Amino acid sequence: MLFERKMEALRISKNAMKQLFSGEERETFGAGLESGDLSVAFQNGSMQSMRLNSQWNLIREIDRALKLLEDGTYGICEECNDEISEDRLSIVPFALYCQVCQETIELERKKREVGSRLARLLQNSLRGCRVM
């Protein structure tokens, strides 16, 4: 299952790279497009690049899971060392954490993001205040 997912991700990445670097976009830029058309072309290229990055991240995750399989530690949560459920692995075969640990990790990440945003807002609002 992991190998098939990796091959599919590689196929998608290969097609995305061909499209991104085929020269079609460069030819379009040379066709005398207006700024709005150039903006759309840039946005399309940016979205294609994001999809490609997402596929490469997936491939790295699958490679890591294949290494764990080779080491005999596949299916063991890297946080709590409990077994990852078969249901979870059937949905996310490259999962590194059990569902509880994954949810905890995501919650902590969201807390940090919110904290960073609040800190920036506070900093920006303090810049507007004058100290007497």
Task: Determine, yes or no, domain membership for 55.
Answer: yes
Task: Determine, yes or no, domain membership for 117.
Answer: no
Task: Determine, yes or no, domain membership for 131.
Answer: no
The pLDDT of residue 49: 81
Task: Determine, yes or no, domain membership for 61.
Answer: yes
**pLDDT lower than 50: segments of the chain:** 132
pTM of this prediction? 0.61
Task: Determine, yes or no, domain membership for 27.
Answer: yes
Task: Determine, yes or no, domain membership for 64.
Answer: yes
The pLDDT of residue 33: 61
- CA-CA distance, 107 to 130, in Å (whole number)? 36
Task: Determine, yes or no, domain membership for 87.
Answer: no
Give 111-130 pLDDT, tens digit per residue: 999 988 888 888 888 776 65
Percent of the chain with pLDDT over 70: 82
Neighbour tally for 23: CB within 10 Å: 7
The pLDDT of residue 99: 95
Task: Determine, yes or no, domain membership for 130.
Answer: no
- CA-CA distance, 40 to 101, in Å (whole number)? 41
Domain count, the chain: 1
The pLDDT of residue 82: 97
Range of the domain at 8: 2-74
